[in-house]
Structure 1
């Protein structure tokens, strides 16, 4: 095993980049796209420091994933030429029309080098600023026409009067089926939870799957994992509503 302080890898077409850094146990820990995206706020702070921040900056992030090209064109017409995407795909400026692993790797290395000169690890900086952030994706497969019907029933159940997920109160439910905030119609539900958590459920457009994106903020890893375990335990409650996640 190499003894590098930072590991980077891209996917085959190099539009995404993932990283791993050493934790306090001197073991490599993978960062999620959301965690890396939060850390890349460094780039914004440096632009401000050096007077290079656009007068009307824009940051773009997605509810799950989306094509960035059309949005970039709209922003250019408004004179807003800087944009970013998270979820393991990152982008600055408008010279590339999609996520770009080379651009992302450059930003990450610059950020890592800066913090290293200050004696700060990426994980320490992340947890200091935001607490422990856990973000995981869980897939559930449903085969055939019966499986598809079950997925539809589950999505409808999530649209019911669910007040709690895994012990966390639902602050707000966002339903993107009719279109929301200028976004196209999509079978996606996002529950905003207390303590800065969220749970997103979406049916895949291309596979017989339901995807469950869980985000938890807590004081440490152990506390976050306990919350996530409760939220991903997919059981139907006696009252007929799905209370913690998908059955």
Structure 2
């Protein structure tokens, strides 16, 4: 490891991380050095993400340069016109993001690849949009999204505008390994510009996205927007300017941004964890909403690809909607704005199945994918046709995309679509809560929950144990079907089987006789088992929604308790 550290110090272009590493060496901090040099940040379908610091197992300028070199070489080998098409690069407001983005540009232009580089911070969906709008070969966003301040990331898009999927991730990773042991070439950005290899994406690019939003057929509902008031937070991220702009363009005049969180600040001084799903993260925007008695309290995460909302209740308080509730409301609404029989909508295997029920009822085509927006959008592109146009997709972790303008989750257009949905309801004297109740009364209450179980780092794969002795019931409810995505096989209780058209993944989905569902899968990033639960409770017109939810929650509590107990012995924290 000493030789490895010596080579790192010789290659690292950043005096800050060189000094950091030298101090660790001088202090003899073997544990920390081992953590940084025991491996390399793994490049996968989400690109790179990790803690900023010195060493190959951290995010830093050298890792970015090596990664960019590997990506450039892979593009040149697999896309014949990659150099001419170029790569779009944008970045968020974290302290190192601009330097990392500029390093990526310097590397790619040195390889002769044209680069379109945003002149300032940019929301992630804007860069994803730019890939297809500029007909680029790929895109890069330097962002750690909603991770804590110590993190940064390097997200890669393919030329279709969607996040990369296999085999591109493995191909890029192999080229990165080669780049890590070879001299690196960089071209100064001024020189790259003079050679015509660097194009700065100025305000015209941002305005182009804005104009496309204004022209979107799905975002033309201008029913009394001024009647809806919206409190908004960018959560110290990069979404505020465009979020406020697209809302204003659509006629929403009562928009109140949280001043303390409006400007980009990668230290996130007012939130412990800049993820709208985390407890306390929405406190300031809800306080802003209360001050103005706003209809909605809305948030984007720091790179503006996710959207969260709390809705004012009759009592004047604010209650968060779950990601599934927002997805169902948006999907239902958009299916009323177009011909559903010509529409394609989708969710992931761990999201609520209520959207499928709604789509089936109106004749729309529905699809389901593995978790992750990379799958939702890539599969949507494959499935859409002249007679079935992609309309909407979502995942329960606050990710939504409206139409095919951006082939990734877009918190900005989701914000606008939800505001327009709310305004249309208000014009009829109805609220978001009224609409949810109407959907539940028509299709049933779909209640979803998730539990993560810490595992021993050395514990054997739980999925394999469950496959060896498959359960016949869960919480006293007979299993009628098991979908095993590892073997791509669907097993029915009568012994018959059929193939599943999904990529292989270590996931088991149990369908129970009362239409409840349990999904079991390991975490892809840490030693945890993730369990997703869904129960369905039918309510009739004389039943109250509150009683229906009480029954659903009681059913969920029993399912959770008994299933978690059944895993005891297979798991250990």
Normalising TM by the smaller chain, what interval? Answer: 0.7 to 0.9
Residue 298 of structure 2 is matched in structure 1 by 8
Q: Which residue of 2 aligns with 1:60?
A: 346
Q: Return the match for 1:84 from 392, 396, 415.
A: 392
Kindly indicate whether the alpha-carbon contact (under 8 Å) linking 1:235 and 1:246 is maintained by their aligned counterparts in 2. no
Q: CA deviation at 1:100?
A: 0.7
Task: Find the partner of 2:481 among 168, 172, 179.
Answer: 172
Distance 1:227 1:140, change over 3 A: same
Q: Which runs of 5+ in 2 are unaligned?
A: 1-286, 351-370, 489-498, 540-547
Task: Write the mapping of 1:61-210 to structure 2, written as runs, cut at 5 A.
Answer: 61-64=347-350, 65-66=371-372, 67=374, 68-75=376-383, 78-79=385-386, 80-86=388-394, 87=396, 88-130=398-440, 131-145=444-458, 148-149=459-460, 152-153=461-462, 156-157=465-466, 160-179=469-488, 181-210=500-529
3-state secondary structure, aligned to 2:438:
helix
2: distance between equivalents of 1:138 and 1:121? 31
Structure number with greater CO (CA < 8 Å, separation at least 6) is 1
Provide the aligned length of Structure 1 versus Structure 2.
Answer: 231
Distance 1:158 1:70, change over 3 A: same
Corresponding residue for 1:229? 557
- 1:167 to partner: Cα distance: 4.0
Cα–Cα, structure 1 residues 112 and 138, in superposed 2: closer, same or farther, change >3 Å? Answer: same
CA distance in structure 2 between the partners assigned to 1:29 and 1:135 by the alignment: 17
- How many Å apart are 1:27 and its aligned residue? 3.1
TM-score, normalising length from structure 1? 0.81
1:187 Cα shift? Answer: 0.8
3-state SS in 1 of match to 2:401: coil
Compared CA separation, residues 162 and 39, structure 1 to 2 (3 A): same
Structure 1 window deviating more from structure 2 (67-76 vs 31-40): it is 67-76
CA distance in 1, matches of 2:536, 2:391: 25
Larger Cα-atom Rg:
2
Counterparts of 2:464 and 2:294, CA distance in 1: 44
2:189 corresponds to which residue?
Answer: none
Aligned match of 1:211? 530
1:47 aligns with 2:375: no
Matched residues in 2 for 1:190 and 1:23: separation? 35
Contact 1:199 1:213 in 2 (8 A): yes
Deviations 1:206-238 (A, max 9, x none): 1111111111222422212212211222213xx
Cα pair 1:172 1:191 within 8 Å, conserved: yes
For 1:159 and 1:129, how far apart are their aligned partners in 2? Answer: 40
Distance 1:196 1:106, change over 3 A: farther
Taking a change above 3 Å as real, the CA distance of residues 196 and 45 of structure 1, as seen in their structure-2 partners, is: farther
Q: CA deviation at 1:119?
A: 2.1
The structural deviation recorded for 1:246 is: 7.2
Cα RMSD over matched residues?
Answer: 2.6
Instruction: Specify whether residues 221 and 204 from structure 1 end up closer, same or farther in structure 2 by C-alpha distance, changes over 3 A only.
Output: same
Residues 1:211 and 1:38: Cα distance change in structure 2 (over 3 Å): same
More helix by share: 2
**1:26/1:173 CA distance change after superposition, 3 Å:** farther
CA distance in 2, matches of 1:113, 1:132: 24
Verify the 8 A CA contact 2:455 2:527 in the aligned structure 1.
yes
Native 8 Å contact 1:20 1:29 kept in 2: yes
User: Displacement, 1:154?
Assistant: 5.5
Measure, in 2, the Cα distance between the counterparts of 1:125 and 1:158: 41
Distance in 2 of aligned mates of 1:246 and 1:191:
19
